[in-house]
Structure formats: structure tokens, C-alpha cells
Amino acid sequence: MADMDDLREGVNFGLGQASQLDNFHIKGASNLGWGMKDRLSRIFNPKTGRSVMLAFDHGFIMGPTSGLERIDLNIVPLTEYADCLMCTRGILQSTIPANVNKPVCLRADAGTTILTELNRNVVIDIEDAIRFNVSAMAVMVAAGDGEMEAITISNLTRTADLGNRYGIPVMGVTAVGKQMARDSRYFSLASRVCAENGATIVKTYYCDGFEKVAASCPVPIVIAGGKKLPEKEALELCYNAINDGAAGVDMGRNVFQSEAPAAMIQAIHAVVHNNLTPDQGYEMFLDLSK
Ligand code: R5P
């Protein structure tokens, strides 16, 4: 381990300066192979470099939470508006028609449910990811969790090794445990740890100072939505995240728990890809909800 004495926090993030190494439309992907780039390009629109991922993997720890009681009724009709679907193999296999023709970011780790303590000690077989023709695999990293940090980093590293072998990108999902601060210092560390251990996409949370989180992460960041917010606030969250350097969103509850989920995902899409302001996005949401 490096000498921790005089460990200094970063101060020079080159904010406002684009990465000097990228000639591909996805941050940090210039040196990747063709298969990786092709899969990443299915997720991140080559025209905008951005993505609206629809997350509905919550059931793997929460069971049939509100808005996800019936994936066939609640989620399948929304898939046409998403750039990528994030779910488990169980839902993909049982409920998502294979002809929706959307890239999939497969939830690749598992462990416990919300009924017990956070624990992810299982990673699915790479052969399943290949069989499902997924465009990425998602694995959580619990930085700062004494029990789970090493196990989850090892999960990510192993998944990245397998992904590299077959050209499948890995998304590192930064956990937010009860004892972890939800601030830019924590999310910068957790995001960077994911990227350094092989993630080609990072999913984290928006926070004050997010521009530093995005600037110091060498791969694209998508933000989770978190708990359900009023629609206008959720659109503000998307707008601010994109403005501060996120390459997209990976949202669940703020879409499927909305009063009008199809209207909401279309409004989010317009904010992310077409730079609509939150007011314009909200107007669009209201129009489409009628
Ligand atoms: C949670 O188990 C998953 O990782 C979700 O995919 C993630 O939290 C995004 O969903 P939400 O926008 O509802 O937070």
C-alpha cells in the first residue's frame, strides 16, 4: 500500500477542458477493441455521446417494488424510449421480448436482499452474458464498506477480466451504504476506483461538486435517479448532471414510479440528448401526459 502520510486531496481537475486523448465519441474508449466499441456505441448514441438507460433491476434485492409489480405491463411499453435496458437475467429471460432490439446492461452480481446486510458475493457466468448478447455487465462496488469493499472490487475485477476476453464492457455501480457520505469526495473516489479496476462505464449519484467527480473519472458516468422525486425536480437532476459532465442517466424509480412513465422517459430523453432545459422538459412531460 502507498504511504498514506500526507495524502493530498486533488485540486486541479481541469474543469471545462475536454479530455485530450479521446477521438472516439465515448470517453476513455479510444484504445478499446472493436467489439467493446461496438457494444458501447449501442448504449451511447454516436451523435450525442449520451445515453438514457432504463434501470429496472431493483427486484433482485427488493422484490416487486412499486412500479415493477408487472414488468410486462409496466416496463415493456417503455423500452422503445430507452437507449439501453438495465435488468437481471431472470427478467430478461422471462419477460423482455427479444425483439425489442435494445442493448442490455445486465446486472451481473448478486448476493443478499434488503432483508439483510449488504453483500454481493456472486457474479453470474460470463456465458450467460454472451448467450444474452448483452452490451454491458453491471457490478456494484462498495467502496468504504469494511466487509464488502474487497469482495466487490474483486467482483468488478473478475468481471472486467472476463468482459475484456469477450469484448463486453463492464459498468461499475458505486454503492451508497448507510455509513458512506454522499458527497463529491466519496463519489470521486468510488467512481475512480471502478474505472481503475477496469470499468468502462461508471454509474454513480449526482451531488454538489459533481463536475469534479465527472472530470476525474476517465470513463463515462451515468447517474442513478435515486428515490422518486417530483417530475420537474427529476428533470432538473438530469439537466444538472449532464451540464456537469455526466454522459447520461441510468434511471429507474423516477421513470416507472412517475404518474406518466412513458411521458417521463421521453422528457428525460429530450433533456439528455437535445439539451432541453428542465422547464422545457417539464412542459413536454405535461403535454405527453394528457
Ligand atoms: C438498484 O438496485 C439499482 O442499481 C438501480 O438500477 C439503480 O439504483 C437505479 O435506479 P434508481 O434510479 O431507481 O435509483
Is the domain spanning 34-289 CATH 3.90.550.10? The answer is no
Instruction: Summarize the chain as % helix, strand, coil (round to 5).
Output: 40, 15, 45
- Is the confidence at residue 67, as pLDDT, over 90? yes
Model confidence at 21, pLDDT cuts 50, 70, 90, reads low
C-alpha–C-alpha distance, residues 71 and 90, integer Å: 11
pLDDT at position 174 over 70: yes
At 279, the amino acid letter reads D
Pocket of ligand 1 (CB under 6 A): 55, 57-58, 61, 86, 173, 224-226, 250-254
Angle at 71 between CA 49 and CA 225, to 5 degrees: 45
Of 241, 260, 259, 257, nearest to 249 (Cα)? 241
pLDDT at 117 over 90: no
Residue 3: per-residue pLDDT? 67
Mean pLDDT confidence for 180-208:
95
Helix and strand numbers, DSSP H then E, in the chain: 12, 10
Give mean pLDDT, residues 219-231: 97
* 97, three cell numbers: 421480448
Question: What value does the mean pLDDT take over residues 201-219?
Answer: 98
Q: Name residues whose C-beta falls within 8 Å of residue 197's C-beta, 6 or more positions apart in sequence.
A: 141, 153, 156, 157, 160, 172
CA atoms within 13 A on the CB side of 217: 37
| Residues designated catalytic | 203
Pocket test for ligand 1, best of 57, 204, 229, 268 (most atoms within 8 A of CB): 57
End-to-end CA distance of the chain: 58
Residue 258 contacts by C-beta under 8 Å, 6 or more apart in sequence? Answer: 228, 231, 234, 264
Burial 22-48 (b: 16+ CB within 10 A, else e): eebbbbbbeebeeebbebbbbbbbeeb
Dump pLDDT digits (tens) for 137-167: 999 999 988 888 999 999 999 999 999 999 9
Structure pTM? 0.93
The cell numbers describing 6, all together, are 500526507
pLDDT band at 265 (very low <50, low <70, confident <90, very high): very high
Q: What is the mean pLDDT of residues 78-98?
A: 98
pLDDT band at residue 17 under the 50/70/90 scheme? confident
Name residue, grid cell 456465458.
127
Does 241 have pLDDT greater than 70? yes
Q: Report how far residue 263's alpha carbon sits from residue 142's, in angstroms, rounded to the nearest whole number.
A: 33
Residues 6+ apart with CB under 8 A from 219: 27, 28, 29, 195, 199, 200, 201, 202
The rounded Å distance from CA 228 to ligand 1 centre is 11
**b/e burial code for range 279-288 (CB count within 10 A of at least 16 → b):** ebbbebbeee
Mutation test residue for ligand 1: of 139, 173, 187, the one with most atoms within 8 Å of CB: 173
